[in-house]
Chains A and B, each alone.
Chain A
Amino acid sequence: MELQLGLALPPPPLIPIETFDLNSYGNYETREALGSNASSWPLLKLGPAGNDINNIHHHNSSSSSSSSSGGGAGCKKRSFDEAPFFDEKRNVPKTLHLLLWTNQPNDEDDDPSNVLHENSSSAIFKNDGEGLVGWPPVKTWRKKVHHQIPNGGAENNRLPAVENGIGGRASKSTYVKVKMEGVPIARKIDLSVHHSFDGLTNTLMRMFGISDGNRKIFKLTYQDREGDWLLAEDVPWRTFIRSLKCLKLIRSRG
């Protein structure tokens, strides 16, 4: 991919803003002249009277009432055209850019950002099938709390000294990979919030969207430190927790 240098790096004194045409991007007429990617997007006009979401022409009409003014004629231009957004005293070049924004539609064959765009939707799942990391954006120690059974039962009478001594975060990562037979994408599960096979199984069923009726079809297996695959239910919870490396849900046969 070739990157065009709009200009060589300027010397420290400021460069007059007119030298660069980057800011002409704010000119809607230019945009309308270009191809399909650059269709004009009239800005949202939200007047005080009623719920008047304008119908944007390349979308279907929305459910709310639309006002009579359509299109972009009355649109508010961006104010950055009027006021420089750099503090001149700070000696930062106003619009140094390393690539002239040409505003061409992104349809070059060899434009890698196109290739990457197609791949970026699969970027959600990493190559090694890890699943969505860090989503939803809930801090680690909050995730732990939420796995508890809300209306107590046995939980409420337990001493707070749970196995991993959770008050806040456990200091070591307790996530293991879980795969389900037939599903290409693996997930990760935090073991430290589970204290029994029941709880673990509940979470796994929910995670993979298995209904209560279908639960019996699946068996939980795990791979231990030696690399052997074992049935989870065959061992006590403590043994299971200590020796497991990763989990797999398989369909039971017969």
Chain B
Amino acid sequence: MAFSFPDEVLEHVFSFIQSDKDRNAVSMVCKSWYEIERWCRRKVFVGNCYAVSPRMVIRRFPEFRSIELKGKPHFADFNLVPDGWGGYVFPWIEEMAGAYPWLEEIRLKRMVVTDESLELIAKSFKNFKVLVLSSCEGFSTDGLAAIAASCKNLKELDLRDCEVDDLSAHWLSHFPETYTSLVSLNISCLGSDEVSFSALERLVGRCTNLKTLRLNRAVPLDKISNILRHAPQLVEFGTGTYTADVRPDVYSDLAGAFSSCKELKSLSGFWDVVPDYLPAIYPVCSKLTSLNLSYATIQSPDLIKLVSHCPNLQRLLVLDYIEDSGLEVLASSCKDLQELRVFPSDPFGAEPNVSLTEQGLVAVSLGCPKLQSVLYFCRRMSNEALVTIARNRPNFTRFRLCIIEPKTADYLTLEPLDVGFGAIVQYCKDLKRLSLSGLLTDRVFEYIGTYAKKLEMLSVAFAGDSDLGLHHVLSGCESLRKLEIRDCPFGDKALLANAAKLETMRSLWMSSCAVSFAACKLLGQKMPRLNVEVIDERGPPDSRPENCPVDKLYIYRSIAGPRCDMPPFVWTMDEDSGLRL
């Protein structure tokens, strides 16, 4: 006997379900749930902007208020994706402008955003509230001025890690004097050295709900006190340049200003740090849960002092100046630490410039019981250390290790690091993200294929011996969504033998590997729901023999078919590619 709740009841129940995965699951239960769900989905997440067309999204979800789109592959962060590859947001804004006058939130990652797009946003969405641009490019302060001028209900403007053309610092003044709704502002990426301080101070002063403010490097240290005094309710704050001549009045002003911020939980910025000014933040350190010192070129003793004042730290980003000794102090002081990122201060130097080794990571994994996410750059590693780390900390969900010199062996035994990473995947059963480095054979991939059942994203560089390695991963990693590979001897066999697996993943990136043009064509012909893109700046792939390896290959599942906005150095292999090329 069929029994069902009235639609309104189901809709009410669904309103408590926010995560995309759960929403997607709900929509697959039956046709009527699909229908109800699609009408009441308010937040849409599109992990690859080319996997679906704007029209398809709009057709399926007629009433969403918030959209998140991601564009370029992750390796674009490291200059591996040539400029002009794609990821343009304008077609999406254009379609949504017509369909959703009530759109409130747009979050974009690694997309090309033009001033035209920003102006269209400003013009089209009357109740626009949130704009988060992460690692985006293509716009200038003119576009920002349009947003500032028109979006009266704007709550959040976050430009993290964007590349912005700074034409004029005065875009900030385009926020009208009547505008007071700002809650979060992140302009840390802006380069302009003429931020209008008075405009900034006035803006901060009248937006009494401001909780997050991340300034850019151009804001001098002596301006911070004023800003902080205007916004003692701040929860997250990013300084500008943290340098000035050491003067007692400036110092006490600063220390007083920080003391007045009783809600501060997160600090960042700290470009060009002068250590003498660091103690000014001690009053807030005991409440800090997040600290980003990854631009702070201060040495280990100062870092140690600082970190010792922060017992409640959950997230720390720091340069390798912290050294093993600093990490040992971190391990003993910060028992709530969940995420640690250690960046290289001298990534291109041939010799180590700091005393940071695998020991620091071992210490932290031993001392911090809640540690689950790590990004660690170092110059040496051993299987022994990795096994110890894995056993100490089986609760890792993200483990990204970058040994700076490619193909570096275990420094104690000179063996590959297969066994060490094998331990990581075997012990850390909830591992979702893994980045490999060092000397690695096909064996590490066998371990990964066998044990890393929850792994969703894998990054591989300069590793493996043969197609067997890739085959292990593609055939074994059940939860794999994103695979990115560079400079590995993986070729056609593993790829073709696991063609269907690729439809279950979001994307696969392979550059400087051994996949032939012929294999790409075959894949494109036979797999209509995959877009197989060959990226090659050397010229058309058919001007070389078919068995020649392609330079870069980006394969992603899509129901939108091949895209139409490709630059001259990108070729899509589709059903006709055998005929056309």
- B218 A120 Cβ-Cβ under 8 A: no
Give the distance in Å from the alpha carbon of A148 to the alpha carbon of B353 in the complex. Answer: 13
Which residues of B480-509 are within 8 A (CB) of A?
486-489, 491-494, 496-500, 503-504
- B476 A80 Cβ-Cβ under 8 A: yes
Give the distance in Å from the alpha carbon of A139 to the alpha carbon of B80 in the complex. Answer: 11
- A145 B271 Cβ-Cβ under 8 A: yes
Nearest CB of B to A65, in Å: 11
Residues of B within 8 Å of A9, CB to CB, are 526
Decide yes or no whether A245 CB sits under 8 A from chain B.
Answer: no
Decide yes or no whether B120 CB sits under 8 A from chain A.
Answer: no
- B497 A99 Cβ-Cβ under 8 A: yes
- B478 A80 Cβ-Cβ under 8 A: yes
- A92 B383 Cβ-Cβ under 8 A: no
1/0 per residue A117-160: CB within 8 Å of B?
10111011001000011111111111101101111100111011
Give the distance in Å from the alpha carbon of A1 to the alpha carbon of B547 in the complex. Answer: 6
Interface residues on A, range: 35 or more
Residues of A within 8 Å of B17, CB to CB, are none
Residues of A within 8 Å of B48, CB to CB, are none
Give the distance in Å from the alpha carbon of A164 to the alpha carbon of B14 in the complex. Answer: 51
Nearest-neighbor residue (CB-CB) of B348 within chain A: A207
1/0 per residue B345-385: CB within 8 Å of A?
11111110000000000000000000000000100000110
Nearest CB of B to A25, in Å: 7
- A53 B419 Cβ-Cβ under 8 A: yes
Decide yes or no whether A166 CB sits under 8 A from chain B.
Answer: yes
Nearest CB of A to B133, in Å: 12
- B426 A44 Cβ-Cβ under 8 A: yes
Decide yes or no whether A170 CB sits under 8 A from chain B.
Answer: yes
Nearest CB of A to B192, in Å: 6
- A98 B496 Cβ-Cβ under 8 A: yes
Decide yes or no whether B23 CB sits under 8 A from chain A.
Answer: no
A76 interface neighbour in B190, B450, B462, Cβ under 8 Å:
B450
- A97 B499 Cβ-Cβ under 8 A: yes
Nearest CB of A to B446, in Å: 6
Decide: A46 near B427, CB < 8 A? Known: A3-B496, A62-B413.
Answer: yes
Which residues of B267-312 are within 8 A (CB) of A?
271-272, 274, 294-295, 297-299
- A86 B419 Cβ-Cβ under 8 A: no
Decide yes or no whether B415 CB sits under 8 A from chain A.
Answer: yes
Segment from B142-150, B157-165, B170-178, B200-208 that makes contact with A: B157-165
A43 interface neighbour in B79, B191, B390, B450, Cβ under 8 Å:
B450
A165 interface neighbour in B193, B298, B383, Cβ under 8 Å:
B193
Nearest CB of A to B76, in Å: 9
- B406 A101 Cβ-Cβ under 8 A: no
Give the distance in Å from the alpha carbon of A51 to the alpha carbon of B162 in the complex. Answer: 45
- B491 A113 Cβ-Cβ under 8 A: yes
Which residues of B510-543 are within 8 A (CB) of A?
512-514, 516, 518-519, 522-523, 526, 538
- A150 B299 Cβ-Cβ under 8 A: yes
Give the distance in Å from the alpha carbon of A79 to the alpha carbon of B454 in the complex. Answer: 12
- B347 A146 Cβ-Cβ under 8 A: yes
- 9 CB-based A-B contacts, threshold 8 Å: A1-B546, A3-B519, A62-B383, A64-B384, A101-B494, A120-B487, A137-B78, A157-B243, A162-B193
Q: Which 6 A-B pairs have the closest CB atoms?
A: A113-B491, A134-B78, A168-B189, A161-B193, A116-B514, A99-B496
